[in-house]
Amino acid sequence: MKHFVLPALPNPDGIIRLYEGDYHYLVRVRRLKSGDCFDALLPDGVQVKIRILSTINGILIGECQGSWSLALSQASSAIPPIALFQGLPKGSKMDLIVRQAAEGGVSVIVPFVSRYSTASLNKPHNEKLKRWERIIREARQQSGSVTETSIRPPCSLDGLLEYWESVKKEYLRPSGLILHQEPLARKSFHEYLGNNPDFVALAVGPEGGFSQDEISEFLTAGFKPLLMGNTILRTETAALYGTAAIKIILLERETWTPCLKESCS
């Protein structure tokens, strides 16, 4: 079900004000007027119904209906946050990766420049970041994802690992996984996620994957290597495939029980 994603939380009285592109979309494109209602998502995923109070002077003023503040206070995610640590790929592939991650309920996307990235941190990324934020909002509205997806500015591998260290201080049981094209370990998604993590990060390399030095740095930081099947995936496919697998396993973790091969044979 499609929902309009609000750019900010309502004020304490439940009032929202929308301008420019949001106003144009709702009033000019969807042709909503005073007295009409529409379904919306607060930035953190809480579903609300908005009744339009006025559309004067290019400003839409609306009011949240029902016990929206109670829903906000009681809202909680069914699964822990999923982070995608994405090595910057060539061209516009990152746009696709960002869109798919937002539709799939990834909580945070962290683009970084790795050894095999063609992108450089010497060039400003402000316009790209704005475009990615716009893509995220459009993807959430199209898919109805209730997960608030954010994207951080592109950084170096050192910057990425510094962020990971801050995550490890904030969460009790964070789990970091790194996709690799070689079988560095034989464990599966289920085995890695069987310890009930409260934050899961997936690291995906750009075209060409990760260098051996980068793999060593990730492993030193506590990441676990993972090989998915016996085919080499494109970076945009690997990001979608990996985050989707993580989400499905976490969503269904109450219905499966990991077991040792010896006891399951």
Burial group, residue 170, by CB count within 10 angstroms (0-12, 13-18, 19+): exposed
Average pLDDT over residues 233-255: 85
Task: Tell me how far apart the alpha carbons of residues 130 and 140 are, in angstroms, rounded to a whole number.
Answer: 16
Task: Tell me how far apart the alpha carbons of residues 60 and 2 are, in angstroms, rounded to a whole number.
Answer: 20
**Mind listing the pLDDT tens digit for each residue in 28-69?**
999 999 999 998 888 767 788 899 999 998 999 999 987 665
Cβ atoms of 133 and 151 closer than 8 Å: yes
Superfamily of domain 4-74: Hypothetical PUA domain-like; domain 1 (2.40.240.20)
**Mind listing the pLDDT tens digit for each residue in 61-120?**
999 987 665 555 444 456 889 999 999 998 889 999 999 999 999 999 999 999 888 877
Tell me the average pLDDT of the chain: 84
* pLDDT value for 66: 76
Instruction: Give yes or no for residue 184 having a pLDDT over 60.
Output: no
Closest to 204 in 3D by CA, of 132, 131, 111: 111
CA distances, 139 to each of 64, 136, 158 (Å): 23, 5, 30
Task: Tell me how far apart the alpha carbons of residues 19 and 168 are, in angstroms, rounded to a whole number.
Answer: 39
Provide the percentage of residues in the chain whose pLDDT is more than 70: 85
Q: How confident is the model at residue 260 (pLDDT cuts 50, 70, 90)?
A: very low
* pLDDT value for 85: 97
The domain segmentation of the chain, as residue ranges, is 4-74, 82-251
- DSSP annotation of 157 reads H
Average pLDDT over residues 130-138: 92
DSSP string for 17-74: EE-HHHHIIIIIIS---TT-EEEEE-TTS-EEEEEEEEEETTEEEEEE-SSHHHHHHH
Task: Tell me how far apart the alpha carbons of residues 127 and 104 are, in angstroms, rounded to a whole number.
Answer: 24
Of the candidate CATH numbers 3.10.105.10, 3.40.50.720, 3.40.1280.10, 3.40.50.300, the domain formed by 82-251 belongs to 3.40.1280.10
- Length, in residues, of the chain: 265
**Which amino acid would we find at residue 87?**
G
Task: Tell me how far apart the alpha carbons of residues 30 and 134 are, in angstroms, rounded to a whole number.
Answer: 19
* pLDDT value for 102: 93
